[in-house]
Structure formats: structure tokens, C-alpha cells
Amino acid sequence: MKHPVIGTVKNNRWLTPNIFELMVAFPDHSMEIKPGQFVELQCQGNHPVYLNRPFSPFMIRHQDWYFLIQNKGKGTNNLSHLQPGDKITMLSPLGKPFLPPTADNKILLIAGGVGLAPIYYYISHYLPLYPKLSITLLHGTSFEEDKIELPGYLDVLQYYFHADQSASQTNSNLFQYYQTLPKIDFDTAFVCGPLPMMRAFSRYFTKENRIHFVSLEMMMACGLGFCKGCSISTSDGMKSVCSDGPVFDGSELDWNLL
């Protein structure tokens, strides 16, 4: 059984015109969440919002949890107005995590937009545990102004950034950009971002027989596997994204139905 915990907002700042970083301190230092799992935040504020909203932590330092949030609708708009000292309720940890690496794995991480949150958390969680990991990070956004500066590890990653619409390059999406890169050697790929982006990578990796996992974003209600509001079709039958996922083996998904 998951119990809600109450945290205190320590900081809230805009990183780009549409994305903000919410920093919340939770008093229980022993709370754990694995990369790929998510939380539900209560989004109280000026706009009435009845359901909690799902988010992935971006970074955790001691008791401070950082969230990278795109301002989309009522719930995220409420969160963007939180001030230091405000209280916020969180349900955590939810869902299944990314497959952990082994010591000297070669990992390809692909993030679109705020899909960077669980992907960066994977890096900051596992690199200190497995310093010999080889990680390539491919990060894409729609525009250059949406780029998020990574708070650390840039010196140990092979890092590629691409903006779909750029003054200096021909316009192309992240998958098209990936195809122009020198061949990247990897054992496992993890992908998180907009659905069309994940579909393009997953279909390609499946065709190439590459092991890859995607983190699906669905509208959620209970977040606990009860309401079946987030059901999807897989080669292994119907699954709930919130409790069987959000991480799935991309080759097992029916991308025509997603």
C-alpha cells in the first residue's frame, strides 16, 4: 500500500519559457524511487483539479526532489505557482522501473522534451554506482529555447542535442537526426518522450533486433492499477500503464493502437 507523503516546496523556477523546475523537500530521507518509476502529485491551486498528476523525478539529492515540469494545463499551471514554504502531497513510488544496468553496459538514452526527467535520473542514479557504464544521451526538443542544461555528468557522457526547428541546421526530428549520426554502439536503449518519437525509434530498433524499452505517457486516474483507465494492448495481452509500466519492452507494444 502506498502512503501519501507531504513535502515542502524549497524552490520553483522557470528553466525555459514553458518548463519549470520544482524542488520539494520530503522529511523522510529513506524514501526511495528507482529510475523509470513515477509519483503522483496533488496539484491544488487556483484552478480546480481533482485527480493527481503523474511525474518522474529528475534528480534527488538527499531529501530534496527535483521535478522538471512542462506547463500544459490546469494541474501543471497550479504547480508552477507554488512558492517556497507551500506544502505538496505526493504518492510514491509508482509503476515499474527501467531495467538496471550491469557494471560495464553500453547504454543509449533517448529523451524528447521533458522525457529528459526519468532519463537524467537514470544517469544520476546509476553512474555513481557503476562508474564504468558507457552512456550516450540523445536529447531532442522542438526549439533551441527548450533546451535544458544538464546539472552534471556532461563530462562523462557522450551527449548529442538536437532541436527540431533550428536556425543553424536543416529542420528534422530526433529520429531523423539519429540516423545522420555515426553508428552508436549500445547493449540497451531507453526512450522517453512524445509518442510519435518513441514509435519511430521503437519500430526501428525492433526491426534491427535491438533491446530497447520505452516509458509511456498516458492520462492517468488512480495510478495504482485499479481503474483500468490507462490500459494498452501488448503482445502479452492488455496492460495498465501505471502498474505494469510505464516502462515497457518496445518490441512488445502494438504501436498501431497507441
Where along the sequence are the contacts to ligand FES (CB under 6 A)? 220-223, 225-230, 240, 242
C-alpha dist (Å) from residue 15 to 96, 102, 228: 28, 33, 35
CB of 228 to ligand FES, least distance (A): 5
Residue identified by cell 509511456 is 216
Q: Which is nearer to ligand FAD, 110 or 117 (CB)?
A: 117
Q: Which is nearer to ligand FAD, 55 or 186 (CB)?
A: 55
User: What is the number of the residue whose Cβ is closest to ligand FAD?
Assistant: 73
Enumerate binding residues for ligand FAD (CB under 6 A): 38, 49, 53-56, 68-70, 72-76, 114, 117, 217-220, 246
Q: Which is nearer to ligand FAD, 101 or 115 (CB)?
A: 115
Residue identified by cell 492499477 is 225
Report d(CA 134, CA 109) in Å as an integer: 11
Q: Which is nearer to ligand FES, 91 or 109 (CB)?
A: 91
Query: What is the residue-wise DSSP string for 20-62?
Result: EEEEEE-S-TT----BTBEEEE---SSS---S-EEE-EEEEET
Q: Which does 14 bind (CB under 5 to 8 A by kind): ligand FAD, ligand FES, none?
A: none
Of the candidates 122, 116, 94, 140, the residue with the CA atom closest to the CA atom of residue 246: 94
Report d(CA 141, CA 55) in Å as an integer: 18
CB of 221 to ligand FAD, least distance (A): 11
Q: Which does 70 bind (CB under 5 to 8 A by kind): ligand FAD, ligand FES, none?
A: ligand FAD
